[in-house]
Amino acid sequence: LPVALLGILEAGAVCLPMDPAHPAERLRYVLEDSGAAALLTHGEVLAARPELADGSGRHLLRVEELPVAPADSVAAPAPQPEALAYTIYTSGSTGRPKGVLVSHRSLTAYTRSMVRRFGLEPDDRVLQFASPGFNVLIEEVFPTLLAGAAVVLHHQDLLLSLGQFQRILEDERITGVELPAAFWQEWVRDLDERGALPPSTLRF
C-alpha cells in the first residue's frame, strides 16, 4: 500500500485510497463521484469483489501484472504545491460521502508537523492499523516514511483479536500505533484484567 501511494504521487496523479471491505454501494459511489480514471488493485481483491471490475471504462491495473521498471526510467515533473495529492471520502453518516481534496502543500506541511510532534526517528516502527479508506492512513504512512522509519503492514484480520494485536506489537517491536478509542479501551481493559503491560518498545 505505501508503495502504491508513493508511485501514484510520483506519477503526478491523485491518490484515492479505498477499503475493499467497505460495502459495494459505497465503493461504486466513490469511484463514480470522484471520476477515477484508473483502479490499482490486485487479484485477491478482485476475486473477492468482482463488482470493482464493472466495465465502466476506467483502467484496471493489477499490481501483480504490472511490469517492473528500473527506478530511473520514470521522470515525472514535480507537482505544483497547490496540485491535488489525494482525496479521502467522509463516512457519509449524515448523508452521501463527500470527497475531501488535499493539496501537496497541505500534505507536506501536515507530514512535517507530525514528524516533529511525535519525534519520529529512523529506528521507529509504526503499525499500519487504520482502514485504507480513512484519513488516519495518511498519518500512519507519510510522516513515518519522511522520518526514514518503517511502516509495518499486517492483514487487517490479524488486528481484530486483542491477543494477535499484542503479539504483533511484541514480535514486530512496534514503537508507535494510532488506535480508535473503542479499540484502545478494549485493549487497556484486557491488559488490566491480565495484569499485563504494553510492550516496552511502544512509546506512542
pLDDT of residue 68: 77
Which of 12-21, 105-114, 147-156 is most confident?
Answer: 105-114
Is 80 inside a domain boundary? yes
Give yes or no for residue 94 having a pLDDT over 90: no
Three-state DSSP string of 52-64:
HCCCCCCEEEEHH
Percent of the chain with pLDDT over 70: 95
Q: What is the mean pLDDT of residues 59-78?
A: 76
Cα–Cα nearest to 130, from 141, 142, 118:
141
pLDDT of residue 147: 98
pTM for the full predicted model: 0.88
Is 128 inside a domain boundary? no
Q: pLDDT tens-digit profile of 74-87?
A: 667 788 999 999 99
pLDDT of residue 105: 97
Q: Are 89 and 32 in contact (CB under 8 A)?
A: no
Residue 18 lies in domain:
2-119
Residue type, 117: R
Of the listed ranges 6-10, 46-50, 66-70, 155-159, the one predicted with least confidence: 155-159
Q: If you search the block for the grid coordinates 481484530, which residue do you land on?
A: 160
Residues in Cβ contact with 3 at an 8 Å cutoff, skipping those fewer than 6 apart: none
Show the cell assigned to 149. Answer: 522509519
Is 40 inside a domain boundary? yes
Is 191 inside a domain boundary? no
Is 188 inside a domain boundary? no
Is 148 inside a domain boundary? no
CATH number assigned to the domain comprising residue 57 = 3.40.50.980
Is 196 inside a domain boundary? no
Domain count of the chain? Answer: 1
Spatial distance between the Cα atoms of 149 and 145, rounded to a whole number of angstroms: 6
Is 25 inside a domain boundary? yes
